[in-house]
Structure 1
Amino acid sequence: MEEPTDTRGGTAENPAFSIVVEVGEADIDVLGHANNVAYLRWIQDVAVAHSEAVGLSFAKYRELGGVFVVSRHEIDYLRSALRGERLEVRTWIPTAMAAKVVRCTEVRRASGEVVVRAQTVWGFIDTARARPVRIPDPVREAFGMPRTKRASSVSGEGP
């Protein structure tokens, strides 16, 4: 996957979003640091929280007839996080295509040191047909993505 164009995260139109997590006992593996699966969960958690923060709850996605699903994760584990550490999980969307987006995520210590850097490809699917469809304009607007020239709903109905 290509390097993100903005590793600081976000733009004025599409700002980065972050949550803080604490590395808990359940996150620790046999080596005494956060397990890879914990990072994956935090990557999903921040994406869901970002979506909800811009007004796109699962109920809203259902109303629009579609939802984002993961088609690819690429994760670089740069350093280990330890039990009790508080980490900022920051995400932003540098690239939006017709039916998918690339979402970047960084996990950082309070010092700003990057622990994990990830890119995830999220495809937008019609929930009734389980097929890729264009990302509706209300979703693009909520995240600050460019508008499409197509209908504003998954069902194909106009605005």
Structure 2
Amino acid sequence: MNMVWDYPNAFTLRVTPGIADIDGLNHTNNAVYVRWCENIGWTHSESLGLSLEDYHRLDRAMAIRQASYDYLLPTILNEELLLATWLVASDGKITMERRFQLIREKDKAVVMRGHWNLVCIEVSSGKVRRMPAEFSDLYLPAIVTHNTNLKAP
């Protein structure tokens, strides 16, 4: 059975909740999903050619302005999950949008969706600044178009 992703060309990462990820309700703690999203976001950025070192060298970074997560189903210890991410929009100057989707592998159920609104900042001051050419050259070609099969959370 194939995964049904919200967008095409998913960048994926396999994740499995360990004992430290489980909360008092015997489910994966919500903060763990946030950490996984941060991890795949960096991994995706690095795969496109931009690392944390590049952010410091360029004195620019894509920072999270707003984040939201829809926790649809719980996950448990040792469940095999597949997390996907996409860049889905940008104004080409200052903002970008990143989406996430987490699927439980055994039944292909969507267990979480996430959304980040990102803004380009100058690392040294924290002020909003225009994306450098290197960001535009590497991030903008990675933007995917919306899948018409996407169901609203």
Q: Indicate the TM-score class for this superposition, using the shorter chain for normalisation.
A: 0.7 to 0.9
1:106 aligns with 2:101: yes
What stretches of structure 1 of length at least 5 have no aligned partner? Answer: 1-6, 147-159
- Aligned residue identity for 2:109: E
Other-structure match for 1:149: none
Report if aligned partners of 1:17, 1:90 keep a CA contact under 8 Å in 2: yes
The runs of at least 4 consecutive aligned structure 1 residues that moved more than 4 Å come to: none
1:91 aligns with 2:85: yes
The CA deviation at 1:145 is 5.6
Q: Secondary structure at the match of 1:105?
A: strand
Identical columns (%): 28
Aligned-pair Cα RMSD in Å? 1.6
Other-structure match for 2:146: none
What stretches of structure 2 of length at least 5 have no aligned partner? Answer: 144-153
Q: Secondary structure at the match of 1:90?
A: strand
Q: Secondary structure at the match of 1:102?
A: strand
Q: Deviations for 1:88-128, whole angstroms, at most 9, x for unmatched residues? A: 11000111122121100001111321100111112110112
1:54 aligns with 2:52: no
Match of 2:27 among 9, 33, 38: 33
Q: Give the TM-score taking structure 1 as reference length.
A: 0.79
After TM superposition, the structure 1 = structure 2 runs for residues 6-155 of structure 1, keeping only pairs within 5 Å, are 8-10=6-8, 15-97=9-91, 98-110=93-105, 111-143=107-139, 144=141
Q: Secondary structure at the match of 2:75?
A: coil
Q: Give the TM-score taking structure 2 as reference length.
A: 0.82
Report if aligned partners of 2:6, 2:101 keep a CA contact under 8 Å in 1: no
- Aligned residue identity for 1:34: T
Q: Deviations for 1:119-140, whole angstroms, at most 9, x for unmatched residues? A: 1112110112211112222212
Number of aligned residue pairs: 136
